[in-house]
Amino acid sequence: MGSFAASLLIGSGSCTKDSGNPSENGYNSLLDVSADGTTFLAEKGLSTLLSENLTFSDDELEILLHMKEEEKLAGDVYSSLYEKWGTNIFSNISNAEINHMNAVIYLLQDYGNEYTEVKDKGVFASPDFQELFDQLVAKGSESVEAALQTGALIEEMDIKDLDDHLEVVKNENIILVFENLQKGSRNHLRAFSSQLENIGITYTPVYISQEEYDQIVSTPMETGSGSCINNQNKKGKQYRGGR
């Protein structure tokens, strides 16, 4: 990851974040973070910051397919909970999670429909994800409080899985996208935690340690650090999301 980031910086010369219009000065961030913590991966960031290397090992392909389903799971659960409760946090973060899924699909774009296909809302290729979706929607439908706790559970699950995947993947593009997906999950966890705190509920993490959880929710929302654009590494393909 270090050499990839360094090559991006070296390739662009002296561009800076603060000198005028960032896009005009060759500076791009991969994240777009709103005031409430809703975090999108910017389309322009994907098309300019990723290298041409979209060929993956079998293990990396399996991981990408898993994360495509996991991001879809989050988006579909939040969409269902928004329909149930009408609370804006679920609508906002659902849209962000579909954006995250589309970022994973972007990495898979050279592998064809078998890898990029997305089933209808609430329908999953994996029986495990199908069962988990049903369980999470049922839990979140018990009350608004339970729905917010379900959101926090999903986000810490994402953080843990991305941690595990980052120990395996070697492709620099997967690493860049996954590290930014983690930032998005931490921001969304902060958002759900804040909502729970406002109604007097203390959340206990399940997938990550209490220490890690406390560290995340006690620190500010994370924004994209960005990089200078390296035209030689520029992917140059259009962003093609699943939905």
41: three-class secondary structure by DSSP: strand
Mean pLDDT of 160-187: 97
pLDDT value for 58: 97
pLDDT exceeds 80 at position 22: no
Mean pLDDT of 37-58: 92
DSSP 8-state secondary structure symbol assigned to residue 14? S
pLDDT value for 7: 27
- Reported as a single tens digit per residue, the pLDDT across 212-228 is 999 999 999 998 654 43
DSSP 8-state secondary structure symbol assigned to residue 80? H
- Ranking 5-19, 60-74, 152-166 by mean pLDDT, the lowest is 5-19
Stated as kind and residue range, the H or E segment containing 228 is strand 227-228
pLDDT value for 45: 83
Domain extent listing, the chain: 51-222
Our measurement of the distance from residue 231's CA atom to the centroid of its chain's CA atoms, rounded to an integer in Å, reads: 25
User: Can you spell out the DSSP letters for 113-166?
Assistant: HHHH--PPTT--SSHHHHHHHHHHHHHHTS-HHHHHHHHHHHHHHHHHHHHHHH
- Ranking 68-72, 75-79, 154-158, 236-240 by mean pLDDT, the lowest is 236-240
Higher-pLDDT residue of 11 and 91 is 91
Spatial distance between the Cα atoms of 195 and 45, rounded to a whole number of angstroms: 30
pLDDT value for 14: 31
| Phi, psi of 68, rounded to the nearest 5 degrees | -60, -45
pLDDT value for 28: 54
Spatial distance between the Cα atoms of 192 and 36, rounded to a whole number of angstroms: 10
Spatial distance between the Cα atoms of 127 and 45, rounded to a whole number of angstroms: 33
The CA-CA-CA angle for residues 67, 72, 73, to 5°, reads: 95
Q: What number of other Cβ atoms are within 10 A of residue 127's Cβ?
A: 8
DSSP 8-state secondary structure symbol assigned to residue 221? P
- Reported as a single tens digit per residue, the pLDDT across 107-166 is 999 999 999 999 999 999 999 999 999 999 999 999 999 999 999 999 999 999 999 999
CA separation (Å) from 24 to 11, 102, 224?
A: 16, 26, 17
Q: Are 147 and 138 in contact (CB under 8 A)?
A: no
Q: What percent of the chain has pLDDT over 90?
A: 75
Burial of 154 (0-12, 13-18, 19+ CB in 10 A): buried
Annotation: CATH topology of 51-222? Ferritin (1.20.1260)
Q: Count CA atoms closer than 13 A to 58's CA, side-chain side.
A: 0
pLDDT value for 233: 44
Please report which confidence band the pLDDT of residue 234 belongs to, taking 50, 70 and 90 as the band edges.
very low
- Note the pTM of the prediction, 2 decimals: 0.83
Q: Mention every residue, 6+ apart, whose C-beta is less than 8 A from residue 92.
A: 34, 36, 38
Read off the amino acid at residue 60: E
